[in-house]
Structure 1
């Protein structure tokens, strides 16, 4: 189950994702396509990378490196469609080749920054795309544009030289057309040469998007002072739990949110209290914390130990569905029936 499928089901989840300062479309897609994790090892791996990135912030040099990487990631374009074109062995346009070159150069720049500032712990090793840079940047200028260089074809170089000195318009037209045909030949050759590297390009794109998301998480968790949840075996324990969206709304009104401590064993748990005592908000906060944990996020609590679960199902409030002709009671019964199934 991807995060995009949960975003309107879990109260406060969209608020949290909107607060993330993600720099790129690739990073935003990576966020929305995150899978629901039930394996403790996989969850701990994501959380450990956040821990590492936060620890680097205490070192001035490494913090500078993280800031440089974040700045680079503002230049990351989501070229998944272009990479698919390349993988299908379709002849690329100049724009396609530019996008591939741009991604490869950006990947290599960030690889260099990670090595230089010794930031290896924040990401799995990025793929080596230096060979792609060499192919698309034969003049080694690392300029972010693409051009069919003379270096790609001796014939093309000769035709361009002839075009510069020819004065007869009819002959110039013939030479120009011959040059365009040769450029098409070069595009086809470059596409064939780069096609086997489509997987590496896709890996680089996904990993850079994940890195963008990671750095956004770090900024948010440090700013809001959220805590790293620990994986539990039997009982989920949340200390100082708040609902971040409600906390923000109350803060804007000059009111405060009372943090809650709660322990939830595997057995059914009953919460009782007077009307307007905060039972619904508490349930929403618990559901949000559980969901955030299983997508590799810190949680809005002072301390958290959470047991992974297969799913979070929350039934609260007015579930009336006019489009289906159901009353609030009928809609609620339908939803509870789906949960029971």
Structure 2
């Protein structure tokens, strides 16, 4: 049988309803979308958990050793693969806003990269960075000039500091960048994913203690309320819905096989009339491909919606994840259809006719 004839016969079966194309399409669509949504939403929950963890500052390590942190040693930490931002700070003379001469603002000198840990954006290292409470009290914002009794300063950034478990001390303060290489009081590293290597290197920034009264360095977490560790990669790799594409493949295969078994009499009659099995399988494959194609097109739309609205970033990766289940369901349907077509026996024609 020529391909043109096979396509024509398949189209007649599809148009006439004999091929049960609509039934197969809707069933594949239900299977694929269900598995697709379950896997994407499961992955989204893991991404959301990681985002909340980072927004709370739980991925920031703080090494404290008053007057004993070497900024030269610390500078190398910023080049580590997983480090997002790193900086050091030390206390300095309190500042007094010209608008509030009766009260002072705790001030800290910081390395240029420190402010970005709190603001979440790159710092120019030119102006000062202030807490949101200071900005509200004084009435200034990013880009404004902050009048101080000691002079004026350009506001380069404003950071929020909610009381959600993070260490105290910076909720009402001003951060002044400096390039001075004198010892600092603490160094902070923001990292994702977090590694033991960075913590080890962080301890190496402490200069040798001088004197018997030197306080030991303390390594702590900026916000420990959400746990000391969060392995999102392991959570993603072990998520239950990782088997969703496999489930879609099996369900697609069973569905197509079951629908083909319902057409045994039709196919046995075709074999009895002289249709070659290879030609019969070709017709069945064309019918199944049409159903799988229609279901996949519909799943492209649902996958795009899930990728757009179920995650805040990395839409391309989410879209690829969303297409796994539809592709698996379609592949399973073709395998099941071929198995169903291969299982038909011309010798069963009379029995099937009697059982009709």
TM-score, normalised relative to structure 2: 0.20
Larger Rg: 2
TM-score, normalised relative to structure 1: 0.21
Higher strand share: 2
Higher helix share: 1
